Amino acid sequence: MGIGYTIDTPIKIGKYGVSSAISVVQDDVIEKARKYYSHKYGFDYVPISRKEFEFRSRRITAYLNLVNEIVRAEFEALKRNPDELEKYFSLLPDKHNMTLTQMQEKIEHMGPGSIDVNIMTKLDREVPESADVLTEARSALKGYAESNLRSSIILSAGMNPGLFEYMRGFEDFFPDESGQIRKKITVKVSDFRSALIQGKMLAKKGLWVSEYRIESGLNCGGHAFATEGHLIGPILEEFKLNRQSMRDEQNMLCHDVWLEKGLPATPHDQRITVQGGIGTSSERTFLEEYYKVDGTGWASPFLLVPEATSIDDETLSELKNAGERDIYTSNVSPLGVKFNTVKNNSAHRLKQKRIADQKPGSPCHKKHLALVKTDDGKTLCTASSAYQRSKIKALKELGLSGEDLQRKMDQITEKECICDGLAVSFLRKFNLTDRFSNKGVSVCPGPNLAYFNNTYSFKEMVDHIYGKINIIDLPRPNLFLKELGLYVQHLQEKIEQVQSPLSKKAEKHLVTFRENLERGVSYYEQLVEYMHSECESFKENFKEELQKYLLMIRDLELQTVKT
């Protein structure tokens, strides 16, 4: 959900047994959060200066240790508070009509939620060999590895062999003498092939993947990593059929390494979970029962839960009022990956003002996304003022026509600073901003947020997830149909962007994409018969929508041939 939105979520809801993840790359906002919460809870705060050795990883370690201490203390206090204890049990999926004594006895066997962390593996820019700093991804990994947490690290955005190799240097990622892994690995994937490749690569190093978190390619928040037309349903089917063989193979590879290292070679569980566009209890139940997934992830709806996430009032209002036409997949990310966002948010307005003032781009103080190497050996972020001024100057020297020039300039200036943009909402909420922070807030909800049009209490959202109440009062498509529609639109855009005549490679890609979508429609035509909890009118409407999308896909086929 972004850098700042969940930076303190474990502190807010961890005591209720709810697991959540903190993004651990933006060390400046982490340091500000550590200062704020140290003072709030009465802990000593000793600043870690940017001038200190390996300051990034040390800041991250210090903050994670603080969060862990706060959550554990809050959980112990909860056990002594009858109202809080009642709330803890009321959040469970089943009703628990127990006496206070029974709750106290039962909670002795329960605990706080896991404090997980997330690292975007692509944030691994080069640093000078003479520098005494690690890359963003490696310093984040080191910061987590050296913390006292027992939880999971979530690796997102694809393979990074160098980062995987770096993980081998930390004992907590391997079994201890009792066979337990203190710090587990979760890999976020968009398809089965990615899970196979990354899992084997890690297993050969003795690194066990405890969870594969399958995320929809387009029906998700943040960066959107579209597949080649592979839809979430068929992807889940492949995991369902092959998860055991994958687990066995990776267990075998890991055990060989563990035996060489003299570590216990005991089998470990491997969870399969799914996220992206889930919006109702019936959808959650179907995914868990039909595909046998071990859990479902809900992210974007919690942006509207102030008890769980930290968002300033202006941004919260933007999210609450965002409809289907407001949430779109943009090109604003400097990473060059599609990015889900909301139209006319404060970051966009700030960007447009800078363009109008003939000052495109943003100041780049942190350089987390300074990934483009220049001729003089420096690296720049594509959202930075320096990069955009340089590119615009070179563009104007080409003598292009007005319309063509403007189109290419727009492609340069549409990038925005998401390092600050995804962090500043938290800073705004607690008045922690400074003169070095860009003030615009980047928002990154998934398309599913359009159907949640209010702010909710934490209990209301959890009760909605478990089907105790329904908080959606807007017409909403089934998650499979929603994703299919997003992929059809994505293919349409890809066709419009290709140049004529088509190269063989481009033609093959578009044809394969279209065929995968058609196979997905055929799969869903069979799947709907297994949705036993749905009424007949739902099934008929589902089939009608499938046929509508099939005709659209075939119409795209005609356009592709004509091109």
3-class secondary structure for 91-145? Answer: CCCCCCCCCHHHHHHHHCCCCCCCEEEEEECCCCCCCCCCCCCCCHHHHHHHHHH
Question: In whole angstroms, what separates CA 378 from the centre of its chain?
Answer: 29
CB 211 within 8 A of CB 272: yes
Question: Taking the CA of residue 228 as centre, how many other CA atoms within 13 Å lie in the half-sphere pointing to its CB?
Answer: 12
Cα separation of the two ends of the chain: 38
Strand 327-330 versus strand 339-342 pairing type: antiparallel
Instruction: Residue 55: count other Cβ atoms within 10 Å of its Cβ.
Output: 18
Nearest of 493, 492, 473 to residue 280 by alpha carbon = 473
- DSSP state, residue 50: T
Q: How far apart are CA 368 and CA 135, in angstroms?
A: 9
- Per-residue pLDDT of the chain (563 residues), as tens digits, is 567 899 999 999 999 999 999 999 889 999 999 999 999 999 999 999 999 999 999 999 999 999 999 999 999 999 999 999 999 999 998 867 788 888 888 888 889 999 999 999 888 766 555 455 688 899 999 999 999 999 999 999 888 999 999 999 999 999 999 999 999 999 999 999 999 999 999 999 999 999 999 999 999 999 999 999 999 999 999 999 999 999 999 999 999 999 999 999 999 999 999 999 999 999 999 999 999 999 999 999 999 999 999 999 999 999 999 999 999 999 999 999 999 999 999 999 999 999 999 999 999 888 888 889 888 878 899 999 999 999 999 998 888 888 889 999 999 999 999 988 998 899 999 988 776 666 789 989 999 999 999 999 999 999 999 999 999 999 999 999 999 999 999 999 999 888 777 788 888 999 999 999 999 999 999 999 999 999 999 999 999 999 999 999 999 864 544 44
Read off φ and ψ for residue 118, nearest 5 degrees: -125, 135
Nearest of 361, 300, 351 to residue 327 by alpha carbon = 300
Could you give the residue ranges of the DSSP H alpha helices within 204-302?
A: 232-260, 281-290
Could you give the residue ranges of the DSSP H alpha helices within 262-362?
A: 281-290, 313-320, 346-356
Classify domain 477-562 at the CATH class level: mainly alpha
Instruction: Residue 364: count other Cβ atoms within 10 Å of its Cβ.
Output: 22
Q: Please report where in the chains the tokens 């903190």 appear, as a residue.
A: 22
Q: Give this prediction's pTM.
A: 0.94
CB 483 within 8 A of CB 232: yes
Nearest of 141, 166, 181 to residue 61 by alpha carbon = 141
Q: Please report where in the chains the tokens 């020039």 appear, as a residue.
A: 405
Instruction: Kindly list the domain boundaries of the chain, sorted by start residue.
Output: 327-429, 477-562
